[in-house]
Structures are given as C-alpha cells and as structure tokens.
Amino acid sequence: MEENKFNQIIKSENFALASDLSEVVLDSFIDNEILKDIPMIGTISKLLSLGTTINDRLFTKKLLHFLRELENIDQNLILKEIQYIDDSKKYNQKVGEKILEVINRVDSDDKPKVIGKLFRNFLLKKITYFEFLRLSHIIENVFILDLLILSKSKEHITLKNNKITYLPLNENSKELFNYNIVDNITPNDYVDPKDITVFQSSVKLTTLGLNILNYGLK
C-alpha cells in the first residue's frame, strides 16, 4: 500500500524549507509560474499530482501556510505522533488524509495558519488529537474575521479568583454563540456592581473559545 501523501511531504528533505517561504513568495505563487521550481512547492506539487490551475495553486498555498506553523518540530516526532493516531481504532480516517481534506475546504489563508498552530500544539501534547479535530472543525466553519476578533479579548479577575476572558459583544457574530465559542456574562461573573457597566456590552469566552485563542491564535 502506498504511503500517505501527507506523510511523504513530512518525510521530504525539503520539509524544513517550508518555514523559509515568506508571505510575499506565497502571495506571488498564484500568478508566478517560475515559483513552482522552489523545492518545497515542487515537492508538494509532485507528491499530490497538482497542476497549474488556480485551484491547485490555492490549495498548495494553504498547505504551505499550514506547514510553516510546524517550524522547528522534528520530522520524526511528527511522523511518530501521526503513526500513533493512525494505528488507533478510535478514528476512521488517517491523520494526513484528514488534514489535506480540511486544508482543501477552508476558505482563507488565515485558517490554515490557525489549524497549523492547533496541530503543532497537538504534537507538543498541549491538546489531544480529539481536541485538534474538534477545534479544526470549528475553525473550518466559522467566519475567519469573527475568529480573529478573539485575539482582542481581555482578562478580568472574578470574585471567585477565576479569570474571565471577555471581549466587546458588538464585535461578534452569532456564529461565535452558535459554536459555543462565547457566552453571555452573568451577574455571578461580576467582582462588584461597578463591573456591570464594564461588562454590559461584552461576552465571555467559553473553554472552547479559550482553547482556540490559546492554541490557535497566539
């Protein structure tokens, strides 16, 4: 059986070069035929049998954004963690297949970066593979500008000495509520009555929202 294409990309001697590709190069790649000769771009095109269509170039660009987030992570570690999940009976799809599928579907350059950060944090055992899948599903489906708003969130200490992370409500879409990324702030979250004024136009991040912020956006 032929080895998974994603694994072959990771094994490639050009894998480490992905992090050297600048935003300018990636933006130019869509319109510049010559850039296909850059080693990492050529490797991806060859292994995935990609041509020169706009869709093929857009997919390659998104995949490179993802791979750049794996900078300085040892190839053997990546392959080891992938193999562990692939050998598990808990999941019905290979890791590489799933990643390529998600990268193909996402609709912006920013989403592969976020998903790449999530995968990096899975490799570093800061989140589980299940959490990676769940958070990636949310990233794939939520409007990217709404997700990027989470980076503007702030922290506040509650009476119970727990941190409530919040951001202005008027900057959020209903999608963030629908995917349980944010929730309304309740009176129990207030330190004292004056905080009602501070929070009256705000929402708090849920555990899912905090995980997206901490493991995908930072």
pLDDT tens by residue, 25-72: 565 655 556 556 676 777 777 777 776 677 878 888 888 889 989 988
- Least confident span in 25-29, 60-64, 140-144, 214-218: 25-29
CA distances from 114 to 11, 39, 74, 142, 214 (A): 22, 24, 20, 12, 11
The predicted pLDDT at position 1 comes to 41
Q: Are 99 and 6 in contact (CB under 8 A)?
A: yes
Indicate the helix (H) or strand (E) that contains 29. helix 23-29
CA distances from 174 to 70, 108, 126, 133, 180 (A): 32, 20, 29, 22, 10
Strand ranges, E, within the chain: 154-157, 163-168, 182-184, 202-205
Among 138, 135, 12, CA closest to 63: 12
CA distances from 106 to 20, 62, 138, 156 (A): 23, 8, 11, 33
CA dihedral sign of residues 101, 107, 108, 110:
negative
pLDDT at 134 over 90: yes
pLDDT tens digits, one per residue of 9-26: 888 877 766 766 656 556
pLDDT tens digits, one per residue of 85-128: 988 878 878 898 999 999 999 988 899 999 999 999 999 999 99
Torsion of CA 143, 146, 148, 154, to 10 degrees: -160
CA–CA dist 185, 96 (Å, integer): 39
Structure tokens at 171: 């900057």
